[in-house]
Amino acid sequence: MSAAVPPRPTAAAPPVGPPGRSLLADAMRRLRRNRLAVVGGVVLVLLLLASFLLPAVLGLDHEITRPEFHNQGPSAAHPFGTDNLGRDYVARVLVGGQTSLLVGLVGAIVVIVIGSVYGAVSGYFGGWVDEIMMRVVDFLYGIPYMFLVVLIMLQFGDEDRGSNKPIFVALAAVQWLTMARIVRGQVLTLREREYVLAARVTGASHARILFRHVIPNCMGPIVVYGTLTVPAVILLESFLSYLGLGKSLSWGVLVAEGVQGINPVKMDWWLLAFPSGALALTLLSLNFLGDGLRDALDPRTRR
Binding positions for another protein, 204-263, rule CB under 8 A: 220-221, 223-225, 228, 231, 235, 238, 241-244, 248, 252, 255-257, 259-263
**300 touching another protein, by CB under 8 A:** yes
User: Under rule CB under 8 A, how many of the chain's residues touch another protein?
Assistant: 92
Neighbours of 117 (CB within 10 A): 17
Q: Choose, by CB under 8 A, the member of 67, 109, 205, 206 that binds another protein.
A: 67
Q: Which is nearer to another protein, 53 or 165 (CB)?
A: 165
Does 132 interact with another protein (rule: CB under 8 A)?
yes
Binding to another protein by residue 269, rule CB under 8 A? Answer: no
According to CB under 8 A, which one of 171, 233, 287, 299 is a site residue for another protein? 287
Indicate which single residue of 24, 85, 197, 198 sits in contact with another protein (rule: CB under 8 A).
85
Q: Does 139 bind another protein (CB under 8 A)?
A: yes
Among 39, 73, 84, 172, binds another protein (CB under 8 A): 84
Q: Which is nearer to another protein, 31 or 228 (CB)?
A: 228
Residue from 33, 162, 205, 206 binding another protein (CB under 8 A): 162
Site stretch for another protein (CB under 8 A), options 22-30, 109-117, 142-150, 206-214: 142-150
Interface residue with another protein among 43, 48, 60, 283 (CB under 8 A) is: 283
Judge whether 37 and 31 are in contact, CB under 8 Å: yes
Site string for another protein, 171-210 (x = CB under 8 A): ------xx--xx-xxx-xx--x------------------
